[in-house]
């Protein structure tokens, strides 16, 4: 399967929300662990992971001051802003977020349901600029 990676710096949270309106996201901040649609405001203390309904477009977003550092891994070579994606190799694996460890007492609402869910992680290996890890829900074995 071919994957394309592209990164962009966006100057507002509204632009992030406009580009990825239907993504399910996960992040952790001072209010706890969240598993929800894209939040209306940027998380204050976290990296946000997200995926579309098919799990074919994955994002990582880091909000820093007044900018969003966005990386998108997709099976579609569509540009992100002015940047064109590059074809990348991806390694995959699975993990259970916390299982029965009970370490996420702050997970409430929909987030509490993912404690035992299997997630697939897609790793773009380091090619000299650092590696990246993306996540999406996985199927149970």
Summarised one tens digit per residue, pLDDT across range 31-90 is 777 888 999 999 887 789 999 999 999 999 999 988 999 999 999 999 988 889 999 999
For residue 72, report the phi and psi dihedrals to the nearest 5 degrees: -125, 130
Q: State the Cα–Cα distance between residues 25 and 90, nearest whole angstrom.
A: 21
Residues in contact with 139: Cβ distance below 8 Å, sequence separation at least 6, in sequence order: 118
Please, what is the end-to-end C-alpha distance for the chain in angstroms?
20
Q: Find out whether 34 and 108 touch, Cβ atoms under 8 Å.
A: no
Can you read off the two tokens belonging to residue 9? 């710096």
Model confidence at 95, pLDDT cuts 50, 70, 90, reads: confident
Range of the structural domain that residue 65 is part of:
3-137
Residues 42-78 as b/e (b if ≥16 CB within 10 A, e otherwise) read: bbeebebbbbbeeeebbbbbebeeeebebbbbbeeee
Structure confidence at residue 106 (pLDDT): 59
How many domains does the chain contain in total? 1
- Which residues neighbour 118 within 8 Å (Cβ) at sequence distance 6 or greater? 94, 95, 96, 137, 138, 139, 140, 141
Contact present, 83 and 6 (Cβ < 8 Å): yes
pLDDT at 105 over 60: no
Q: What is the pLDDT of residue 141?
A: 41
């Amino acid at each position: 399967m071919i994957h394309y990676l592209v990164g962009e710096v966006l100057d507002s949270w509204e632009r992030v929300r406009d580009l990825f309106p239907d993504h399910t996201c996960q992040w952790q901040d001072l209010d706890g662990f969240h598993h929800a649609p894209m939040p209306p405001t940027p998380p204050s203390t976290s990296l946000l992971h997200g995926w579309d309904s098919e799990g074919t477009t994955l994002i990582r977003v880091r909000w820093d001051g007044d900018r969003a550092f966005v990386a998108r891994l997709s099976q579609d070579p569509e540009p992100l802003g002015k940047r064109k994606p590059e074809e990348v190799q991806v390694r995959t694996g699975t993990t259970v977020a916390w299982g029965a460890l009970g370490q996420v007492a702050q997970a409430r609402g929909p987030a509490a349901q993912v404690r035992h869910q299997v997630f697939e992680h897609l790793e773009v290996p380091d090619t000299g600029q650092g590696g990246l890890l993306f996540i999406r829900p996985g199927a149970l074995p």
